[in-house]
Amino acid sequence: MNDLRVFLCHLKACEGGFYLKKIFRLISGFCLVSVLYGCADKLEYYEESGSVFHTLYRIKYQAPRLLTGKIDAELQAFNLSLNPFNPNSIISKVNNNEAVEADEWFMEVFNKAQEVSAVSGGAFDATVAPFINLWGFGFSRADSVTPYMIDSVKTFVGYNKIRLEGRKVVKDDPRVILNFSAIAKGYACDVVALLLEREGVTNYMVDIGGEVTMRGVNQNGECWRIGINTPEDDTEGTNAALEDTLQTCEPCGIATSGDYRNFYIKDGVRYGHTINPATGYPAGRNILSATVMAKDCMTADAYATAFMVMGIEKAVETARSIPDIDYFFIFSDPDGNQMVSFSDNIQRYLSNR
């Protein structure tokens, strides 16, 4: 830059040219803008963490600046739409039969839930909450549940008992309540990912409660890696053993559902936390862990739950019929041995297959 200034000053002194003076100003200005622009566009990897929906989140992304404020604002807005623990949220007002209009987020999740319910034959059902409440958190009320209670609750559980008419949620029975816990975390990942992409971010990983939406590469320039835990009894959440690892740079959502961290044992029988909407009882199927990979995490999240309810044979049959999803199932054979079943396409992302 100094050499350029000396050269131009020499020309101006020798020729006194008006145009050379203007050229000097333009070049100097261009160099200054280039320096400032280069500093502003310096990309770094950042990590955000916190909690939403009573679960932890971790977000890693490459950007020229921190996006903490925008991420927090997006999650707070999402919270006011779909968090059932927030009395002011849209879903809480729907469950309390208050007059409220659905927003775009609620409608998106509701419609996806209904779609997955239909495809899975009701194995996924966002109205299953009364059964969950009946059994109690961690099956704390398991000993008090009777067939009569189950039959009573069945009368107002069913995805076909609720619908959207425009932005209004219409119930066949006012006792119908929604619980999007098996789909909303995945959708929250997608919502944050869309925010990052609007900000020009192309390398990111959004992890909310173990559900993940990701794209591009990590800070080491490598494709993101997501571990699939070996399903061992792990009520403390300390199991770090991995069955395999998924690695991809492609935009996708990955979700895992499993009963090995939330179950109870009665009369020597182990019951997982996944409720079968058709029976009202714990599903008790042979799938120990269902990992689903899809274009978006909302879809992956919902189907991971549905497959846990179905059992291995029906889950594989159904998964193969659904476009754009892949699966990795860990299940127990009749002799109690752990086995795996996975889609042909997902094999290219697996580290140990």
Please list the rounded mean pLDDT of every run of 10 residues in the chain (353 residues). 42 41 40 42 93 92 97 96 94 97 98 98 96 78 87 96 97 96 96 98 97 98 95 59 94 88 54 82 85 98 96 96 96 90 96 83
Same domain, 63 and 28: no
Same domain, 19 and 53: no
182 occurs within a structural domain: no
Same domain, 222 and 315: yes
Residue where the block lists tokens 């566009």: 41
Same domain, 162 and 272: no
What is the SS3 assignment for 100? coil
pLDDT value, residue 54: 84
Strand duo 55-63 + 44-52: pairing: antiparallel
Same domain, 6 and 94: no
Same domain, 30 and 57: no
pLDDT value, residue 162: 98
C-alpha to C-alpha distance for 29 and 38, rounded to whole angstroms: 14
pLDDT value, residue 141: 74
Give the H/E segment covering residue 332.
strand 325-332
Q: Where is the domain boundary, 124, 152, 171? A: 171
C-alpha to C-alpha distance for 7 and 9, rounded to whole angstroms: 6
Same domain, 147 and 53: yes
Is residue 245 a contact partner of residue 351, using CB atoms and an 8 Å limit? yes
Is residue 294 a contact partner of residue 252, using CB atoms and an 8 Å limit? yes
pLDDT value, residue 233: 56
CATH of residue 118: 3.10.520.10
183 occurs within a structural domain: no
Structural domains counted in the chain: 3
Its domain, for residue 330, covers 210-349
Same domain, 65 and 159: yes
Is residue 225 a contact partner of residue 247, using CB atoms and an 8 Å limit? yes
pTM: 0.84
Same domain, 249 and 339: yes
Same domain, 58 and 24: no
Same domain, 167 and 69: yes
Same domain, 18 and 64: no
